Amino acid sequence: MRRRLSYANVTATLALVFAMSGGALAANHYLINSTKQISPKVLKSLKGKNGAAGKIGATGAAGPTGASGPQGKEGPQGLTGPSTGPAGGALTGAYPNPTLASGSVTTSNFAAGAEAPIAANAESLGGTPASGYQTAAHWALVDKGGTIVSQSGGISVVSHTSGEYILDFGFSVVGHPILVTQSTRDNSFVGGVSTAPCGTTTESYPNCGGDPTTDVFVGTEDSADTGVSERSFYIVVL
């Protein structure tokens, strides 16, 4: 007995064919999205050798200077140097107590406006010996009769009347301080004593009559300071 084709049979058959062909189509277009889906052996065979290195490119522009780094720690202090040994330069002897070498200090070493020393040890400083310097202070002790009892040297009495004396110091006294005081040779302190350089300036004694450069006037007074009186005195010119 022959079976007849129906619409249902045809539809079922077509569905089966499409289903089979769709699975094959999907198998032919399988999507690989990870190397984990590929066998390691296959991956190894796909990897080729590295190619030759290319040429080195041009050097790029220098970048900006970076910020300074933090300061490092201070290193250990070095050993203290020796405090002994021979001195050099302007010094002589040995450390720790060197001294100035002879002749190492001259007037050329002084600051502007400084004066050469007149001390007794000037020779040890390399300057002119002390004997070559002028004595710093010139002094005399004069008796009431006008006689010089003792002095530093070079001083003479050129004029004497009662209570008035003119002394020549042998050098220019202009601008030098002059000091005078009574002495104890009279066994009493009575009256005043005054002094001034001879000359015509306001600081001088105008009626002195002596040399205005080298001479000095001294006057001694009585106990009432009303008139001149013979008195012994000390006088110093610096």
104-116 pLDDT, tens digit per residue, is 777 677 666 665 5
The whole model's pTM is what?
0.44
pLDDT at 116: 53
pLDDT at 137: 86
The more confident residue out of 128 and 111 is 111
77: helix, strand or coil: coil
15: helix, strand or coil: helix
Nearest to 161 by CA among 235, 225, 229: 229
CA atoms of 99 and 86, how far apart (whole Å): 11
Beta strand residue intervals within 72-171, DSSP E: 85-86, 91-92, 94-95, 99-100, 138-142, 148-151, 156-161, 164-168
Beta strand residue intervals within 104-177, DSSP E: 138-142, 148-151, 156-161, 164-168
Helix (H) or strand (E) holding 12: helix 7-28
- Mean per-residue pLDDT of the chain: 77
